[in-house]
Structure 1
Amino acid sequence: MTDTWKQLPRAVRISIEARTGTVTAALPPTAGTVSDFAATLETTGGPVFCKAVREDNPKAWMHRLEAVVNSVLPPDIAPRLLWKVEADGWLALGFEHVPGRHADLSPGSADLPLIARTLETLAGTLTPAPPLRAFSLADRWSGQDFWHNLGSRHRDRLDPWTVARLDTLVLAEHEAPDLIDGKTLVHTDLTSPNLLVNGEAVRVVDWAFPAPGAAWADTAYMIVRLIEAGHTPEQAERWADSVSLWQTAPARSVTAFGSILTGLWTLRAAETPRRHWDALSAVGLAWLRHRLG
């Protein structure tokens, strides 16, 4: 058994085992997590995925929101929340164990049609968005000045193409909140690790940051991830055309979406240097070059 399980407070472990049976093994996930503890627990009652966070962790609110959101998610798309434990200053969530592998987003992958079908199902089920205490995507991005700050504080980091279009990007960023508003509950963090594929089934996990927004928003997030996985922007948008709700997305709104998201990543790359932000900024800029010429 991994030491991380043993390092949880005894009161937390006792409370969890009261719901699961004796924990015999704790297998950490293969992808990163914002939780203080995450593992598939092998128990005498069967496997369960557990994520836990200290209640004083600034991201603990994401776990509380995920617990609330889970009750409105389609059970054939998202794993069910089985139990919630609060003990000794910790919050732990236990989810149905979902078999499967991370989605393959590379060009030509057989997973891509399955993901398109999943996006259709999610939007159909979660429109209108259930009444949750979750900031809308419009509220989340309202009042942001990513590109203005980049132009005033980090102009020397921007390439000539971007500098020449700063005014366009600033305007698009300010328009984005109104243009991406909507009545669908969207995941907002669809990545390969958050899409588990088992045969023809796709389950969407890690609903820690959902928001009401435009029905096409999750497809737009996927375009960025496809470019990251090796698609050209043209190929990624061609895939998006297979999602019917994407076909109704106004071009101006999509460009505004790409502008504000890329502005966020580019500013973080400038002020919090990490290879992760540099890579996402490059992907976003590639998409914007395609859209803006």
Structure 2
Amino acid sequence: MGYAWNDLPDELRASIEGRTGVVDGAVSPTAGTVSDFAATLETTGGQVFCKAVREDNAKAWMHRLESVVNTVIPASIAPRMLWKIEAAGWLALGFEYAPGRHADLSPGSADLPLISRTLEMLAETLTPAPPLRAFSLADRWSGQDFWHKIGDQHRDRLDPWIMERLDTLIMAEREAPDLIDGKTLVHTDLTGPNLMVDGDTVRVIDWAFPAPGAPWADTAYVVIRLIEAGHTPEEAEQWADSVAMWREASPWSITAFGAILTGLWTLRAAETPGAPWDGLSTPGLTWLRHRLR
């Protein structure tokens, strides 16, 4: 359970109101967040979205990274950060309010063409990646052995299809880091809640975990989310074909990335059964079955 506005330290609330004016109300987001506090603040100066984290939170670094990333991303892509406050052992970020709703990824959604155009705009605008102190996708995934660990430690969870292809999956995750390397700043968490749709405009929020990588990588993340939302793998990839960077990627590069990403989720699901890992591993495995059929 996250903190409510009135639960925050007096010093922090006073510092925020020094930037916003009096806070008359705080509406929590409908989607999940890694922040200790997140809300749209109703203030005398207008609406502001605020996320805050205790500085002893292990994920506080993500908020610090986002505060830097936001300064180099065009306002057409993401809402502007208005202020950063450190007080009472907390870090708080204030962003301009982004009107609209979360993107609908379900089959037949009218948002899907908008998301395709947004992905192409992101790759065009963020190549080459702005200068940031952020690990690349290749660095992030280098040296992982998820499928090897699953085969050694959780063989009881493996169905015959995975057992028959375990060597291929191990090889794919070893090759994936080099294949997903690139010079585009990739969001790496493009879910429906992180895509705000307002008419024909889509803005991308929560830039807490970006990395330089292949320009098609964000499309691959969305493909898995589409399967999670009810698309068949064939339908999800047919949608992805509308994105120019995806069409230019080698099929094995995409398969290898799907393998290492699903390997992570499947290992986590084995170690900690239940949400969210099972909910991610299942569509990932569905996609791999399609690509390795």
1:154-175 Cα offsets, whole Å, 9 max, x none, are 0110110001100000000000
| Equivalent residues of 2:3, 2:37 under 8 A apart | no
d(CA) in 1 for partners of 2:282 and 2:88? 43
Letter of the 2:102 counterpart:
H
d(CA) in 2 for partners of 1:244 and 1:144? 29
Are positions 1:15 and 2:15 aligned together? yes
Letter of the 1:262 counterpart:
T
Structure 2 equivalent of residue 28 of structure 1: 28
- 1:97-112 correspondence runs (5 A): 97-112=97-112
Are positions 1:188 and 2:191 aligned together? no
d(CA) in 1 for partners of 2:210 and 2:276? 22
Secondary structure of the equivalent of 1:165? helix
| Equivalent residues of 2:3, 2:36 under 8 A apart | no
How far apart are 1:289 and its partner, in Å? 0.7
Structure 2 equivalent of residue 131 of structure 1: 131
1:131-179 Cα offsets, whole Å, 9 max, x none, are 1000111111011010000000001101100011000000000000000
Structure 1 equivalent of residue 88 of structure 2: 88
How far apart are 1:3 and its partner, in Å? 7.4
How far apart are 1:275 and its partner, in Å? 3.0
Letter of the 1:89 counterpart:
G
Structure 1 equivalent of residue 63 of structure 2: 63
Secondary structure of the equivalent of 2:196? strand
d(CA) in 1 for partners of 2:182 and 2:172? 17
| Equivalent residues of 2:141, 2:177 under 8 A apart | yes
TM-score of the aligned structures, taking structure 1 as reference length? 0.98
d(CA) in 2 for partners of 1:130 and 1:202? 21
Structure 2 equivalent of residue 256 of structure 1: 256
- 1:162-177 correspondence runs (5 A): 162-177=162-177
Secondary structure of the equivalent of 1:223? helix
d(CA) in 1 for partners of 2:18 and 2:275? 42
The number of aligned residues is: 292
How far apart are 1:39 and its partner, in Å? 0.4
d(CA) in 2 for partners of 1:262 and 1:164? 16
Q: Which runs of 5+ in 1 are unaligned?
A: none
d(CA) in 1 for partners of 2:110 and 2:3? 38
Q: Which runs of 5+ in 2 are unaligned?
A: none
Structure 1 equivalent of residue 5 of structure 2: 5
Secondary structure of the equivalent of 2:35? coil
Structure 1 equivalent of residue 161 of structure 2: 161
Letter of the 1:93 counterpart:
L
Question: Sequence identity, in percent?
Answer: 76
d(CA) in 2 for partners of 1:278 and 1:125? 34
Structure 2 equivalent of residue 79 of structure 1: 79
